[in-house]
Amino acid sequence: MCGITGVYAFTENGRVALNRLQGAVASLRHRGPDAGGVYLHGRVGLGNRRLSIIAPGEQANQPLTSDDGRYTVVFNGEIFNYKQLRAELASKGYTLSTASDTEVLLRLYERERQECLKKLKGFFAVAIYDKAEDSLFVARDRFGEKPLLYYKDANAFLFGSEMVALLELGVPQELDYASLYQYLQLTYTPAPATMLKHVKKLLPGQALYIRGGRVQESVWYRLSFDGEKAAQNPMPFKLQQEKLRQLLQQAVADRMVADVPVGAFLSGGLDSSIVVALAASQASSLKTFSVGFPEQPRFDETAYARLVAEKYKTEHTELLLSNQDLYQHLHDMLNSLSEPLADSSALAVYALSKRASQDVKVVLSGDGADELFAGYNKHRAEYRASQGGFAVGAVTKLQPLWEVLPKSRSSFTANKVRQLQRFAAGARLSPEDRYWLWASWLQEEQALALLKPEHRTAAQNRLYHARKSRLLNCISRNHYDMNNVLCADWHMVLANDMLAKVDLMGMAHGVEVRSPYLDNRLVKFAFSLPVASKIDEHAQKRILRETFKHLLPEELWKRGKQGFEVPLLSFLRSEGRSRVNECLSDAFIIEQGIFEVQQTRLIRQALELGKGLTTQTSAWSLLVFQHWWKHSSLK
């Protein structure tokens, strides 16, 4: 695991960025505190900060150059099957000088070029310079576990693991209003867009080949998903369970590969608990880490996590956070964001990663299971909406009532009203419009109203609609069922919110987060399963629950889904209130010239009164954006 950055200059003016490369590398030190280095040759510069996990000796430091001097690589990630691939290379007569997975990748590329990526089990962002061709190859893993951003103009191609590296290299700092518009709705900016107009994210499974002044795009991996074929899958449920058991056990075993201690995040939910149960059988002593909020019992799952930790005798740590604790982490957490990401649970992941970093460099997580096996509340809602019936009709007809009743995520009753209101609004819509509504925190007209009138045309332009259409591609296919929703979530929510969050928060403290549910063999299998294997009238994540319930305490596998959240409203109305008032003050909003001051004033007032369903999310999204805007010195 590392941070990488680099420059490929097309002109003399482009070479100016080479002088800034050391600064770009330094900006990524948090991603790789163990070592750093720079490679320079002619028009090309590559930089790396290393977190040493496999072959931690100096020989494996990066940039790493082949023995003949032709190829040089910078690599962020892990290849779990590197020992098998190393043996394959040895059988072909290759001699490797280090024990690292980075050199294995370099030699594979030398032999097979882009095709070598298909052999890799793991996650990565990689850049390889070929001195003989004077070419640069850049690629990202299958599902977007490791980030890579890039910028191209007539003078240079620049790339980096985080936006901060590109800012150090001197990219133009022009705000993309279409991205801001999507961010205000979703709380993140879906790839390939970023919050800066000319900076892009490399898509998962995508590669770039740069030579001379040309940049060629290619796709080396696409998610294998055929909804109609999955619906007709004839495999009996018991055989599906056996296959899932084998795949997940192997995925966990693969992700235990490291030359440093491996721990696990344990939320108390089904997904991470299964991972811990399987990992504990493969480790003599497994360290587990949970976070809780004793002042807000509704958001605290530590009791369930403790049951799993006790069952498997892990070395368990509970991090108990108050609103004051959250506030103490706030500034540093916001500084660690590559671009605005307003998933409020990032604050808890940041704090938990900081604590875990005292004991381990690697942690396992349960990310991806909800998107594979229909674990979110919106999946239950989609299932019921598609089934129809009297109850659906009754809830829909009562929409005027749900609109006027108090709604909040902070109490059971108010949260249930919130869910009924969103269900009633979505059940009337087409699948595409329903998906977008239930994926969003603000509706389009609400997000647009937050922007000053002169920016609204730039926000809701043809580019915005093209991006939205691409994100809904899974929903728009001829065959439609729950698997289409899961496909869309996999590409949009998981890749751009969940994985970005755990990467940034973990790497802020030099902690690598690995999820067995993102194993490509497991993912391919999960998307081949019919909807009935994942959700029915009685259960969500049915196959996961039924296959592994014997490993878990009964209290855990019988409970319903509880999202991993922080007590956001309570925090924003107490310790976080001063930051909201500062970022949304009338004077600053007017001087900044982006947002409509009447709207931000209403958000401040509603937050003080504890009113408005969308108030806390809007306030948090704006706070995160404003901090990033100031921290990045945008104008």
Averaged pLDDT, 480-492: 96
* Cβ-count burial 551-572 (b if 16+ within 10 Å, e if not): bbbeebbeeeeeebbbbbbbbb
Averaged pLDDT, 272-298: 91
What is the reported pLDDT for 407? 66
**Which two structure tokens, joined as six digits, stand for 69?**
């001097």
Averaged pLDDT, 559-580: 79
213 is in an annotated binding site: no
Averaged pLDDT, 364-385: 95
Average model confidence (pLDDT) for the chain? 92
What percent of the chain is modeled with pLDDT above 70? Answer: 96
What is the reported pLDDT for 461? 93
**Distance between CA 235 and CA 162 in Å, rounded?**
43
What is the reported pLDDT for 1? 63
Model confidence at 297, pLDDT cuts 50, 70, 90, reads confident
Q: Is the pLDDT of residue 392 over 80?
A: no
What is the reported pLDDT for 353? 97
φ/ψ (deg, to 5) at 74: -125, 135
Q: Is the pLDDT of residue 565 over 70?
A: no
Q: Is the pLDDT of residue 54 over 80?
A: no
Residue 2 known to be catalytic? yes
57 is in an annotated binding site: no
Q: Is the pLDDT of residue 390 over 90?
A: no
Model confidence at 410, pLDDT cuts 50, 70, 90, reads low
Half-sphere exposure (Cβ direction) of 437: Cα atoms closer than 13 Å: 17
Q: Is the pLDDT of residue 520 over 80?
A: yes
Active-site annotation holder among 2, 116, 474, 583: 2
**Distance between CA 137 and CA 192 in Å, rounded?**
18
What is the reported pLDDT for 463? 94
Averaged pLDDT, 484-494: 97
25 is in an annotated binding site: no
Averaged pLDDT, 302-316: 95
Model confidence at 474, pLDDT cuts 50, 70, 90, reads very high
For residue 290, list its beta bridge partners.
318
What is the reported pLDDT for 528? 97
Cβ–Cβ < 8 Å for 142, 219: no
The number of beta carbons lying within 10 Å of the beta carbon of residue 112 is: 12
Q: What does the pLDDT look like over 336-354, one tens digit per residue? A: 998 999 999 999 999 999 9
The residue among 245, 229, 225 whose CA lies nearest residue 237 is: 245
Q: Is the pLDDT of residue 622 over 80?
A: yes
Per DSSP, helices labelled H in 71-152 are 82-91, 101-112
What is the reported pLDDT for 558? 74
Q: Is the pLDDT of residue 531 over 70?
A: yes
67 is in an annotated binding site: no
Cβ–Cβ < 8 Å for 472, 186: no
Q: What does the pLDDT look like over 436-471, one tens digit per residue? A: 999 999 999 999 999 999 999 999 999 999 999 999
Averaged pLDDT, 490-511: 96
- pLDDT: which is higher, 23 or 297: 23
Write down the domain spans for the chain: 2-219, 227-372+484-557, 567-635
Name the CATH topology of 2-219: Glutamine Phosphoribosylpyrophosphate, subunit 1, domain 1 (3.60.20)
pTM of the model: 0.93
What is the reported pLDDT for 396? 75
Averaged pLDDT, 302-327: 94
**Distance between CA 349 and CA 561 in Å, rounded?**
19
Q: What does the pLDDT look like over 71-95, one tens digit per residue? A: 999 999 999 999 999 999 999 988 8
Cβ–Cβ < 8 Å for 193, 200: yes
Q: What does the pLDDT look like over 150-166, one tens digit per residue? A: 999 999 999 999 999 99
The residue among 140, 164, 160 whose CA lies nearest residue 150 is: 160
Averaged pLDDT, 3-25: 97
**Distance between CA 32 and CA 538 in Å, rounded?**
46
Model confidence at 61, pLDDT cuts 50, 70, 90, reads confident
Contacts of 470 (CB under 8 A, 6+ apart): none
What is the reported pLDDT for 147? 97
The residue among 532, 518, 486 whose CA lies nearest residue 251 is: 518
**Distance between CA 370 and CA 459 in Å, rounded?**
31
**Distance between CA 270 and CA 256 in Å, rounded?**
20
Averaged pLDDT, 61-76: 93
CATH 3.40.50.1820 fits 227-372+484-557, yes or no: no
Q: Is the pLDDT of residue 171 over 60?
A: yes
φ/ψ (deg, to 5) at 134: 55, 50
Instruction: Give the distance between the most distant pair of CA atoms in the chain.
Output: 74
Model confidence at 613, pLDDT cuts 50, 70, 90, reads low
